[in-house]
Each structure stands twice: as structure tokens, then as C-alpha cells.
Amino acid sequence: MSGRPLFIALLALAATACANVTAYPTPDPAIATTPTESAPTPRERVAAFLESCEKWDEWDKPAPPFQILGNTWYVGTCGISAILVTNPQGHVLIDSGTESGAEIVLANIRRAGFEPNDVRYLLHSHEHFDHVGGFAKIREATGAEILASSVAAEVLRNGLVSEGDPQATSLDPMAPVEVARIVENGEVLKLGDLELTAHATPGHTPGALSWTWTACSNPGEPPVCRRIAYVDSLSPVSAEGYRFSDHPDYVGAFLTSIDRVRALPCDELFTPHPSASGMIENMRTGKIASCTDYAAALTRKLDERLAKEAAQ
């Protein structure tokens, strides 16, 4: 598919405009956008985000929202992604950030011009507190139905990381939350004319999911459509003492996940940690992150981890 996402198309302007544009106010969880506020332009939103955030940044550092393309918005913090996909029949939110970060996400949904209570579904990437720790807060604020993989559903329901998770012994519990429905690999979530496809990508965690959908520019603009892929971290990180090489079946699933990422319908890649796909650097330079490059990098990291374990 041809065309470039809205924020990429505006980068050349944003690079020179940053000094001249009034930055969009940093989200304040206690303040919602009021009808009298003038909405920032897409260029101003991009410039404000770039002014607010660093290449590697804190998980709960507030950031202004920006439009990725058409119905797809970034509403997360500087260091943790949250993606809002909008639709007249209701919206879909992927990830919540931490429990504290969820307040920023809710404020950003409002600042983007949408209402949290119009969020119909809440989806996840992987089941760690920095990405789903705010699910209970988001659920309370929106009434959204939570959809999860079978493994992640158990984690969300009891707040405890699963025993098979490589980081199980190093993570704190989360607030439990009700899960409405289990989603399987390849299942398509439909809402109006919106379709998001779930892709099981275990590796970083046993219950991780990645998501793909198509976003198109708003009516009245030259038509630009891109296949968006929100792909899980898939980094071989673990608690002290855990050896991936002692779990060959898990490594096999990890490799299958990387192969699945490589084959995704993917014109534009986003990740739960923006830094993992170089999002801010890409926004500044105009580069588009690709799933094939990401899969190659993940393969190298896993190979390096297994080689390190073999040498010990």
C-alpha cells in the first residue's frame, strides 16, 4: 500500500516548526479537554510529542497524544505505548500503561477529542504491570470489555504473573480485573467497519499478543491506507537465574513468534515500548519501522542470549 502515515508526512514541517509551535499542554490527569479549547493541529501534536519525550524515557512521564493515521492514535506516555483505534460504533484501546500511567492515558483520550466511556474493548500486548497494570482503572472508567489470551486472562484475573513467565520471580502483583472473553491466535475483533486481528506471540511472556489492522486517512484527504502492526516486545529478558536454554519448548514458541512477526501484514510497526522500534527517532528522521527489520533484530537478541547461556 502506498502513502506515508500522517505524522511521518508532517515530519519535515515539524522539524522546523518545533521552535515556533506552541506545545500542546502536557496531559494533566485531573484536567479533561473542554469544548472551548481549540484543538491542536496534527503538526502541533507531533511537534509537542517530540518536544516532550526522549528516545529512551520514563514509563509514567506524561506526553501529549498524536494521530498516527486516520482512526489510530497514540495516547500513551513517553515511555509506554497505548494505542486508541476509533470507530463510530465505539473505540478499541490496546494497553493501559502502569496503574499511574492509566490516568495519563484517560486524559489523552479526552485530549485527542474522544470520550473514555466510548471505549468498547480493552486489549493487551503482554501481561506485565507496565502495560496492563492500569487495566482495572481503565475498566472502571470506561466499562470496556477486556479481551485476552488464555494465559494472560489468568494473570489479569488474579493479578499474579504466571509461573511460566521468564520474569515471574521479579515482578510485583497487579490489581485483579475481570476478563470478558478469551481471544485465540488469528481471531478477528470486529466493531463496525473496524477489524483487528490477534496474533499469538509468546516469548517475552507466555500470553503475549500482537495486533494488526488497517488505518486510512480521514475523509476529504487524499486516500492513504496503511497496515498497522502493534507487535509485542519479544525481548529475551528474564529474572536472575532463569535460563531460556533450559526450556526448549518455550524457545521453540519464541522462534515461532518471531517468524510470525516477520510474516505479518505490516506497513508500519509500533511496539509496547516505543524505544524498542525506535519510534521517536523514526518520527524525527522520517523512517518507517518495519516488522521484517524488527524480527531480524529479535532473532539476533535471542541468539545472543542463548549463546551467552551456553558459554556459562
Give the tens place of pLDDT for each residue, 36-68.
357 788 889 999 999 999 989 999 999 999 999
3-state SS class at 233? coil
- Owner of C-alpha cell 467497519: 193
Instruction: Grade residue 17 by pLDDT with cuts at 50, 70 and 90.
Output: very low
**For all residues of the chain together, what is the average pLDDT?**
89
Positions annotated as catalytic residues are 126, 128, 130-131, 204, 242, 273
pLDDT value of residue 74: 98
Q: In degrees to the nearest 10, what's the CA dihedral of 208, 213, 216, 219? A: -100
Give the tens place of pLDDT for each residue, 235-265.
999 999 999 999 999 999 999 999 999 999 9
Instruction: Grade residue 24 by pLDDT with cuts at 50, 70 and 90.
Output: very low
In this prediction, residues 79-107 reach a mean pLDDT of: 97
Q: Facing residues of 227 across strands?
A: 214
Q: In terms of CATH, what superfamily is 6-311?
A: Ribonuclease Z/Hydroxyacylglutathione hydrolase-like (3.60.15.10)
Which pTM does this prediction carry?
Answer: 0.88
Q: Residue-wise over 146-171: b if at least 16 C-beta within 10 A, else e?
A: bbbbebbbbbbeebbbeeebbebeeb
Instruction: Grade residue 2 by pLDDT with cuts at 50, 70 and 90.
Output: very low
Residue 285 and residue 261: Cα distance in Å, rounded? 24
Say whether pLDDT at 120 is over 80. yes
Residue 86 and residue 89: Cα distance in Å, rounded? 8
Say whether pLDDT at 223 is over 90. no
H helices present in 263-290, as ranges: 279-285
Percent of the chain with pLDDT over 70: 87
Say whether pLDDT at 8 is over 90. no
Give the tens place of pLDDT for each residue, 166-216.
999 999 899 999 999 999 999 999 999 999 999 999 999 999 999 999 999
Say whether pLDDT at 35 is over 80. no
Residue 201 and residue 163: Cα distance in Å, rounded? 18
Instruction: Grade residue 222 by pLDDT with cuts at 50, 70 and 90.
Output: confident
Domain ranges of the chain: 6-311
Say whether pLDDT at 76 is over 70. yes
CA distance from start to end of the chain: 47
Task: Check: CB of residue 111 under 8 Å from CB of residue 74.
Answer: no
pLDDT value of residue 19: 29
